[in-house]
Amino acid sequence: MALKLLDGSEAIVEAAILAGARMYAGYPMSPATELVENMARKMPESGGVCINAATEIEGINIAMGAAATGFRAATGSCGQGLALMQEAIAEAALNETPIVIFNMARNQQDYFQATRGGGWGDYRTITLSPKDIYEAVEHAQLAFHLADKYRVPVIFLGDNLLARTQMGVEVEKIDFGPLPEKDWQLDGTSGGTGNSRQIWTFGGGKANNPGPGPDGHWRRIAEKFDMIAGCEARHEEVFMDDAEVAVIAFGTGGRFVEYVVRELRQEGVKVGMFRPITLWPFPGEALEQATEDCRQVLVFELNAGQMIDDVRLNVADRKKVSAIGGVSFDESGLNLGPLMDARVIRERILTAMEGVA
């Protein structure tokens, strides 16, 4: 086995290219800048194209265009950039164009943005939230697979620690199984030939193929997202079997909480961790089962309380649920803050447990 010393951004780029990504149209914004820099360096070597788009809106629409012709395509920025992409993400969901959107976020404040979205229509976005570089290498490939499998946009939600920490990793291609043929991809056949193809948000058609129309199209889209919700939720549990207190965390936060939970277990504290790997679909049923016998469910996230909504929706007794996270940035406002620290998390878990029998 040959490990390479890569930072998260570089590892993600290598994994994405290995997964067959051939177009990246991104916009540099800290801490997503290294992603577009590495794409620019490596994409041409693989026969692909990297474009530093003039705006985030341009970036995602370029990616959508490439994806419509069958290429694996992605865009990326930080949450501030994804805010501008919301309309196009909704379009891609409703016109069924598989694209991957990398959000190398500055914090954990983009949970609602990722799981609720800001575009119009009945759509959802599969959101993968890796806890470390090892998992990021998997998710950077899985994102393209799921996008193609369901013809949907998929969000990869990282952060500055993931983007910039360097680790010895081996980036290996993962086989996720067969995919349907892209019989919908635009192939250059023009109108008037009888064989042209359309990718259209409103489900309209043409003279020889009228299409389902808006109502039929949007009902089918909604059914598709229901189906995805039923089969693509992923999660990780650590020490949940006999946990009296569950700590719920996502992404990098999950890795930190896992560290603290292992430490507390060695001291005999019956605490466990539950980590949603997909933020949407949220692993609600699994969470309900895992927390059934817990007397407390603590939610650790670096925001004012976003994932906690999904936790309350799924834990049987929502009165057990309380927040132990909060808004926390470093001085620059561009990075996770001092709350993302094992010592602080440990204190908050122990404080929350005091007096609750």
Partner 1 sequence: MEEDLFISGIGGQGIQLVGKALALAAISEGLYVMLTGEYGGHMRGGSSVGSVVFGKSPLKSLPNLPSAAAVIALSDQFFENVGGRLRPASLVLAEETIADKLPQLENPKLVTVPAIALATEAGSRMAAGMAMAGAYAALTGVVTVDSVVAAMKELVPAYRRQHVETNERAIRAGAAAVPPLAYPVSFDEAGAEPVQGIVA
Binding site for partner 1 (CB under 8 A): 3-5, 134, 161, 164-168, 234-239, 241, 252, 255-256, 258-259, 262, 265-266, 277, 283, 286, 331, 340-343
67 touches 101 (CB < 8 A): no
Among residues 90 and 162, whose Cβ is nearest to partner 1? 162
Rounded to an integer, what distance in angstroms lies between the CA atom of residue 62 and that of residue 74?
A: 9
**Closest distance to partner 1 from the beta carbon of 314 (Å):** 15
Among residues 27 and 274, whose Cβ is nearest to partner 1? 274
Alpha helices (runs of H) in 195-320, residue ranges in sequence order: 213-231, 252-266, 284-290, 307-314
Rounded to an integer, what distance in angstroms lies between the CA atom of residue 125 and that of residue 279?
A: 9
Cα 199–chain centre separation: 24
Pairing relation of β-strands 100-105 and 154-159? parallel
**Closest distance to partner 1 from the beta carbon of 149 (Å):** 18
297 touches 291 (CB < 8 A): yes
Among residues 45 and 331, whose Cβ is nearest to partner 1? 331
Neighbours of 304 (CB within 10 A): 11
Q: Is 140 helix (H, G, I), strand (E, B) or coil?
A: helix
- Residues facing residue 280 across a β-bridge: 127
Closest Cα partner for 341 from 235, 267, 275, 259? 259
**Closest distance to partner 1 from the beta carbon of 147 (Å):** 21
Among residues 309 and 341, whose Cβ is nearest to partner 1? 341
Among residues 168 and 216, whose Cβ is nearest to partner 1? 168
Among residues 183 and 331, whose Cβ is nearest to partner 1? 331
95 touches 201 (CB < 8 A): yes
**Closest distance to partner 1 from the beta carbon of 265 (Å):** 6
- Residues facing residue 246 across a β-bridge: 272, 297
Among residues 123 and 239, whose Cβ is nearest to partner 1? 239
**Closest distance to partner 1 from the beta carbon of 110 (Å):** 19
**Closest distance to partner 1 from the beta carbon of 281 (Å):** 12
34 touches 7 (CB < 8 A): yes
**Closest distance to partner 1 from the beta carbon of 3 (Å):** 5
